[in-house]
């Protein structure tokens, strides 16, 4: 088990190092997320009360857009220069690769969500009334999104038209994550009085299910092609 986690750590470190050096997440994906928040404000005619009520949903839609690009990028890196074959030859277990990718994507998205949350507070005049609930919602939602993203990223790996295929496969599956994340964040932002922690529970269940599926299928998916 500790060996598996060590291997996963190597993969996560590699991916995060590539991201850190290329600065794509900082220079392109984070600004894109903020841009989505701005565009929503235009679309809703900068109606402050409407933006405040919709802020949790708009936050997760911005995460969805940025997340799809992050997942796409994480798997495009593997398909270039025969890196996938090199990884397979390295003897690192597929389960460790899955966990490593999951960790790297989750960390990037979580940092992005912190930035977006500041954006929501600043631009939509939202107030974080339950900070712990907001942070745990972002964490569990990110994990659930990333687990699904890793599976479908591997499904579309190396295929032509993967850029269009990935969102088509991913969005219907992450829809419950967006719903639960939105409901829990609405509570954290004081927009609704629903039981936010119940929705966090759903996010934990979805994360666990898709992590288990990912651990089981990542090997067969990487063997192909």
Partner 1 sequence: MQQAERKDSMTGSLATTTLGWASGASLIVVLVTGLITSPKDANQGEAVRLLYVHVPMIWIAYGSFIITAVYSGLFVAKAASRPDLGRHLDRVAGSAAEIGVVFTGLTLVSGALWGRITWGVYWQWDARLTTTVLMFVTYLGYLALRKLPADPYVRSRRAAIVALIATVNLPIVHYSVDWWRTLHQGASITVGNKPEYTNDILIALLFAVVAFTLVALWLGIHRYRVIRLEEIREEEGIEMAIAARRAEAEVGS
**In the complex, least distance from residue 124 CB atom to partner 1, rounded to whole angstroms:** 23
Beta carbon nearer to partner 1, 9 or 158: 158
Rounded-to-integer distance, Cα 156 and Cα 166, Å: 6
165 contacts partner 1 (rule: CB under 8 A): yes
In the complex with partner 1, which residue's Cβ is closer, 56 or 112?
56
- In the bound complex, what is the minimum distance in angstroms from residue 160's beta carbon to partner 1? 6
The count of residues interacting with partner 1 (CB under 8 A) is: 22
Q: Which of residues 195-224 bind partner 1 (CB under 8 A)?
A: 209, 213, 217, 220-221, 224
Would you say 31 or 225 has its CB closer to partner 1?
A: 225
> In this complex, which beta carbon is closest to partner 1, that of residue 66 or of residue 222?
222
Q: Tell the residue number behind the tokens 């934990």, with chain if given.
A: 204
Contact 67, 109 (CB under 8 A): yes
Return the residue of 161, 163, 193, 201 that touches partner 1, per CB under 8 A: 161
Considering the complex, what minimum distance in angstroms separates the CB of residue 159 from partner 1? 5
Measured from the CB atom, is 143 or 202 closer to partner 1? 202
Q: According to CB under 8 A, which residues from 121 to 160 bind partner 1?
A: 151-152, 155-156, 158-160
Among 169, 192, 197, 201, binds partner 1 (CB under 8 A): 169
Q: DSSP string spanning the chain?
A: -HHHHHHHHHHHHHHHHHHHHH-HIIIIIHHHHHHHHHHHHHHTTT-HHHHHHHHHHHHHHHHHHHHHHHHHHHHHHHHGGGHHHHHHHTT--HHHHHHHHHHHHHHHHHHHHHHHHHHHHHHH----S-HHHHHHHHHHHHHHHHHHHHHHHHHTTT-TTHHHHHHHHHHHHHHHHHHHHHHHHHHHTTS--S-HHHHHHHHHHHHHHHHHHHHHHHHHHHH--
Residues at the site binding partner 1, with contacts judged by CB under 8 A: 151-152, 155-156, 158-161, 165, 168-169, 171-173, 175, 209, 213, 217, 220-221, 224-225
């Amino acid at each position: 088990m500790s060996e598996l986690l060590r291997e996963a750590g190597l993969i996560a470190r590699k991916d995060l190092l590539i991201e850190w050096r290329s600065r794509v997440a900082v220079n392109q994906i984070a600004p894109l997320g903020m841009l989505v928040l701005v565009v929503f404000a235009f679309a809703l005619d900068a109606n402050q009360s409407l933006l405040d009520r919709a802020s949790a949903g708009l936050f997760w839609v911005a995460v969805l857009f940025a997340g799809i690009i992050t997942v796409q990028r994480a798997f495009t890196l593997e398909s270039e220069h025969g890196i996938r074959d090199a990884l397979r030859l390295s003897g690192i277990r597929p389960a460790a690769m899955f966990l490593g990718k999951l960790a790297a994507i989750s960390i990037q998205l979580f940092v992005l969500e912190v930035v977006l949350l500041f954006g929501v507070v600043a631009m939509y005049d939202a107030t974080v009334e339950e900070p712990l609930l907001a942070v745990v919602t972002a964490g569990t939602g990110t994990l659930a999104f990333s687990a699904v993203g890793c599976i479908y990223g591997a499904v579309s790996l190396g295929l032509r038209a993967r850029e269009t295929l990935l969102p088509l496969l991913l969005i219907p599956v992450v829809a419950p994550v967006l719903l639960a994340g939105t409901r829990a964040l609405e509570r954290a932002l004081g927009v609704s009085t629903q039981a936010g922690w119940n929705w966090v529970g759903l996010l934990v269940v979805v994360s666990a299910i898709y992590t288990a599926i990912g651990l089981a299928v990542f090997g067969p998916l990487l063997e192909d092609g």
